[in-house]
Structure 1
Amino acid sequence: MQKKRYTKGEISTITEQIFSLLPKMSILCFIGVMGSGKTTLIKEMVKHLGGLEEGNSPSFGIVNEYTYPDGELLGYHFDFYRIENTEEALDLGLEDYLNKDVWIFIEWPEKIEPLLPEERTNIKLEILGPETRQLTILP
């Protein structure tokens, strides 16, 4: 378990530190209350990976797709805040997405816990103050 405190101004550095701890093409599950910085961190991670699209929360569409400048698929960003049950995630084809060799970013993973593989990294975000967050990387 790794714990790190950071401010929004340090998000690029914290992103580099996270990637130094991860295997390539991981499933990353972001746990935290609304406003804890999940989408902001994912946005920076997509940027760090060289993704073309601006990382945004897919709250209304549930999933966003990101690509590299050459068109190759970088990964998917899911926001399961609005789903009611795991059946909705299955209807989206979640199992197919999870079996691809790309980055997977998942907000609100607790809503689909039974569907998630054991091979994933959980990243917990906590609000310590208006500008300060604590990030915990859980195996």
Structure 2
Amino acid sequence: MEIKIKSIDTIRESAREFIENIGESKVFAFYGKMGAGKTTFVKAICEELGVEDVITSPTFAIVNEYEAKGQPIFHFDFYRIKKLDEVYDMGYEDYFYSGALCFIEWPELIEELLPEDAVKVTIGVNDNDERTVSF
């Protein structure tokens, strides 16, 4: 499936379309180059799901936990991971296999640890600065 993000002004509409099409999946691995809009799109998804907390990039924390309608949502950023041991030490399995929504940025750094049913989401930047979200 492909979703177009025409501008930052329409990102919430694109997030709603994404949510409408995720089915029962829980773990989403977001691929895209630096600046493609991974964090911005995850933020829009979380807002559409009902997260009321301030949503920020978990670059330094590695994982941020939010709550939407009484359900946890985990947002990961593995950009700064140097060794897989760091991911083992944080107890990644407790998150990935919790049944909660997990949104993972920079999954290519931990691919061997991703659940088999993780959904690969690619955000590409088009010539006209639009984004294409493919999953």
TM-score (norm 1): 0.89
Mapping for residues 1-139 of structure 1, pairs under 5 Å: 2-6=1-5, 7-24=7-24, 26-68=26-68, 72-129=70-127, 131-137=129-135
- d(CA) in 2 for partners of 1:25, 1:101: 9
Tell me which stretches of 4 or more aligned residues in structure 1 moved more than 6 Å: none
Whether the aligned pair in 2 keeps the contact of 1:38 and 1:107 (CA below 8 Å) is yes
Shift of 1:130: 6.6
- d(CA) in 2 for partners of 1:51, 1:31: 23
Shift of 1:136: 1.0
- d(CA) in 2 for partners of 1:15, 1:74: 18
- d(CA) in 2 for partners of 1:96, 1:68: 19
**Compared CA separation, residues 8 and 129, structure 1 to 2 (3 A):** farther
Range that drifts further, 88-97 or 21-30 = 21-30
Amino acid at match of 2:10: E
Q: Secondary structure at the match of 1:83?
A: coil
Gap regions ≥5 residues in structure 1: none
TM-score (norm 2): 0.91
Q: Secondary structure at the match of 1:12?
A: helix
- d(CA) in 2 for partners of 1:25, 1:51: 19
- Count of aligned pairs: 134
Percent identity over the alignment?
34
